[in-house]
Every structure is written in C-alpha cells, then in structure tokens.
Structure 1
C-alpha cells in the first residue's frame, strides 16, 4: 500500500520534533554561547537569537504542515549556518565508526531540502499556497 502523504507526515514530524528539542534546549539554557561565536566571526552577537527561528518556529511550522516549503527552506539554511559556524572542519571527515561526521546535520539539511521540494502532503494545516 503506497501512501506518500503519510510518508511526508512521518518525515515532517520526525524532522520537526527532533529539531524542536534542540530549540527547547536553547530556550531553556540560552544562546549566549552562540553570541560569542557570531562575535568571533565579526558579526553582531544578537544574531544568536535567530536560532529560535530555525530551531523553534520553523520546526513548529513543519510539524503543523503550515507554510511547510518556506519553513523547510529556513530549516535547511539553519543547518548550513550551523555547519559553517561549528562544524566546518568536519565536512570531509568520517566518524570513528565509518559514518560521515556530519550525518545528523546532513539528515536535517537534506530532509529540509526534500520537504522544500515535496511540500507538506495532504495531512497538513495547509493554506494551499505555493509555500505549503
């Protein structure tokens, strides 16, 4: 039995919930450490607060299936920034067990990219716009 919409729902819930946990941790513990990282790159430290868009707002929209394509694009961009800021030296590395060192970040990025191209599916709070 083939059900693409159920598959998209499972992907949306998986990506959204798992990333939202990272966002909740940042809400609970703050983003001061990120402010320092932005400052070290010559950027304003208040940019650290943008992490809430990528790790809280976008995942909630993805979970709900509202503006999924737009949220997924933000989600994927968040992963590009995260890799660039904290994991750039690991892009071409393998882990001790032989997997890609950035496989979690890669799954988030490519999952977000896939949702950008597919949309939310029919099990979503969509508005039938081009961004759902």
Structure 2
C-alpha cells in the first residue's frame, strides 16, 4: 500500500466517524428541535431531516468505503449549504456562541480529496470494483 492510500483511508474513516457523530448529535437534540432551528435561520425545516440522514447514513457509508465519491460530493453540498445559510453571520472563526465555518471548509477539502483520490483496498468500493472487473 502506498502512503496516499493509507492517508486517504484514514481521511475517509475519520470523516465518516465525524459525520456520523454529527448525525447522532442531531438525533440526541431531537429532529424537531433541529427543524425549528433550520426554520429560524430561514432554511425549510424539512432539510433538517435530509441533513441528519445524509450525515448518519453517509458517515456509515464512508467508514465502510461504500460509494465514497458520491457520499463525499453530498457532504460538500451539505457543508456549502451550512456555510452560506447558518454561518455567514458568525464568520470564519465564530462568535463565541457558535463555531465559524473553518471546520466546514476543512471537511470540504477532505471530501474533495476523497472524490478524486485513488480507491483504497480497504474499502467496499474497491472490493466491488475488483469483483466487477473480474
């Protein structure tokens, strides 16, 4: 295995864990509370459910290495939505009450890397591709 494969595998698994944790956090807060918060910032509340599902399911899929490129692309869209709807008023580093969008930018860069990175042999994507090519 090359260093790039090792790093992309670590990045994929860690990003998956972090998104899974964010999705679980939304469940613990209560999706109705998240929906109300989305409504309060001018985003239709139904998006709270979509974001929670993307974070939960997408996080698990990244950890396992399933549809990595597609999940990563969805994460980029969710993160850009967060930056442009929830974070403009708090800025890059936050305002003391809410985090800024520095972490979102980092997650976007990692997700973009995973979109173009070589498939890791430690993923189900790789396994399925090998079976299909055989």
Considering the TM-score relative to the shorter chain, is it more than 0.5? yes
Distance 2:56 2:69 in 1: 16
Q: 1:102, 1:24 → 2: CA distance?
A: 20
Moved over 6 A (4+): none
Aligned-partner SS, 2:124: coil
In 2, Cα distance between the equivalents of 1:67 and 1:36? Answer: 31
Structure 1 regions of 5+ residues with no counterpart?
none
Equivalent residue of 1:87, what SS?
coil
Higher mean C-alpha deviation, range 14-23 or range 117-126: 117-126
Match of residue 9 from structure 1: 9
Compared with structure 1, are the counterparts of its residues 90 and 28 closer, same or farther at alpha carbon in structure 2 (3 Å cutoff)?
closer
Alignment of 1:12-91 (within 5 A): 12-40=12-40, 41=42, 43=44, 45-91=45-91
Gaps of 5+ in 2: none
Asked if structure 2 preserves the Cα contact closer than 8 Å seen for 1:69 and 1:119, the reply is no
In structure 1, the partner of 2:129 is 128
Matched, 1:113 2:127: no
CA distance in 2, matches of 1:42, 1:22: 18
Alpha-carbon spacing, 1:95–1:89, altered in 2? closer, same or farther (3 Å): closer
Deviations 1:29-60 (A, max 9, x none): 212233224434263x2221001233111111
Q: Is the 8 A contact 2:23 2:52 kept in 1?
A: yes
Q: Distance in 2 between matches of 1:115 and 1:42?
A: 28
Deviation at 1:10, TM superposition (A): 0.5
CA RMSD after TM alignment: 2.6
